[in-house]
Structure 1
């Protein structure tokens, strides 16, 4: 039986949304305004205070009901999510839905996430539920993921029942804030990549469930225009972002004992492929190589936290 999508008139968990901004455009503001018609919204803005994009006052169109928190710097996705969730906790909310600025959630998705979380938590400890996501650039609806003994296992996003999985991407997820208190916040030192993976691993270790809801599908774009090599699509990002991808992968493999062996083996196999593909597919191969190498070195040293803007000239997402 398909879990109930609770009607808005029925008593339910008090849910709020946290949306992370970074150099937002008017479309991002419009999406946040639409979301604010469904549930309370907190925006945490990671746009650096001196960014060129701030000369265009796109924020003037924000719905006045939205709580706007300005970090005035790119402090990373994890720290921004933590600040938004802290705001909801202080205001007594029961659960938090996390969104990137390019994620567009419908009433059905919001109601489905909150209603299913409420139903599941009646019989077990649940950390987070999340929809399947559809990225047309990468070939449509992505599978959910579990960690096997020697790698990751794909779980097709099919059916009408919650699927027990091992991690969910943060955008579109709905977190039980009573579980958040027990598990702890996102790991701010990771800055961006693998933040959601590490948190879900911690949640599972603490005895909380992670569930994918395959009948709910949210459109979400991962990265820039993907590179296609031998018929396979690879999500592409800036050199700045690839620094964190390589750094955090290496640091988690070497120093985090809680990360599952299957995840570590999977990432070890991916690293040399990414090392080859990213510079080849980029318009700035030298910069890609420089930042990837720096990420590998910092990962080996377990040197986490933000990257100095002076090392890249301009921080990118």
Structure 2
């Protein structure tokens, strides 16, 4: 039996069932319930095979409404069932057997969320945490311990449910990309703490592949993803009230730089540049939501 009511929200989109099963198997004995929210258009019927696990609920959205919307569907369900802590996960993260046990020790003194370190499968390198530096964003590379950070990657993040009424849910208008960071910034701006737990390292696929340019590792993604990455970063740099002016200027500058970097490393540079420029423009004017390719 668990001392707390522990839930997971796993968002899927055209999942590879074999990998998703490994994710579910790694979590099923650590939680009271796993809620799978499927964003696959028309629904991924292969998910029905997972009903052999007694603590699984599957919600088919039958359309791709974006990761933020899907996460909110799962979070609302978990809150209705009085969950104390809610793990957010993608469909291909595999967790150690003591993951939840080690994460729960982070929740003291207004901690709204905690997450692990990740090992990038493409580079073989352990990624970093981001904190607020005196000037801009600061990367830290801890090898152990708990650290107060500014933001976390959504997958592997455990949220303290009791603070959600004050912080709010995920910003659905962003659709995908920067959703997790915006939520963390919002939590910090309201006086809550975000903890990075370097005692847990999880393997993670970040992007489709990596390419190194100017001594910087760039994640290679489908060109349309750059639309959301650029758009949301520009929008947040101009409109968010949860970062100070200096951090917003740094974010805006880095996003301009990334338009160039993403185009250079892309396997389809012209298409990437087209999406990046459209994303930049839509971020400026505040046009959010799912991209309508016809307009």
- The TM-score, its normalising length taken from structure 1, stands at 0.86
> How many Å apart are 1:24 and its aligned residue?
0.4
Unpaired stretches in structure 2, ≥5 consecutive residues:
none
Contact residue 19 and residue 32 of structure 1 kept, 8 A: no
> Conserved in 1, the CA contact under 8 Å of 2:20 and 2:92?
no
- Aligned: 1:61 with 2:35: no
After TM superposition, the structure 1 = structure 2 runs for residues 174-193 of structure 1, keeping only pairs within 5 Å, are 174-193=158-177
Within the alignment, does 1:285 sit opposite 2:278 as a pair?
A: no
Assess, with a 3 A threshold, how the Cα gap between structure 1 residues 259 and 88 changes in structure 2: closer, same or farther.
Answer: same
Partner deviation per Cα, 1:179-230 (whole Å, 9 max, x = no partner): 1121110111111111111111111111111111111111112111012213
| 8 Å CA contact 1:109, 1:218 repeated in 2 | no
Match among 157, 177, 181 for residue 173 of structure 1: 157
Q: What SS does the corresponding residue of 2:219 show, helix, strand or coil?
A: strand
Per the alignment, residue 13 of structure 2 pairs with 22
Q: Distance in 1 between matches of 2:237 and 2:278?
A: 17
For 1:157, the equivalent position in structure 2 comes to 142
Q: Secondary structure at the match of 2:106?
A: helix
Q: Say which is worse superposed, 168-177 or 26-35, in terms of deviation.
A: 26-35
Structure 1 runs of 4+ off > 6 angstroms? Answer: none
The answer for unaligned runs of 5 or more in structure 1 is: 1-8, 312-317
1:42 equivalenced with 2:59 (yes/no): no
Q: Residues 73-88 of structure 1 correspond to what in structure 2 (within 5 A)?
A: 73-88=63-78
Does the CA-based 8 Å contact 2:23-2:95 persist in structure 1? no
Could you tell me how far 1:231 is from its partner in structure 2? Answer: 3.5
Q: What TM-score, normalized to structure 2? A: 0.92
Q: Deviations over 1:92-146 (max 9, x none)?
A: 11010000111111221122112432xx2xxx11100111111132441111111
How many pairs align?
Answer: 291
SS at match of 1:210: strand
Contact 2:129 2:141 in 1 (8 A): yes
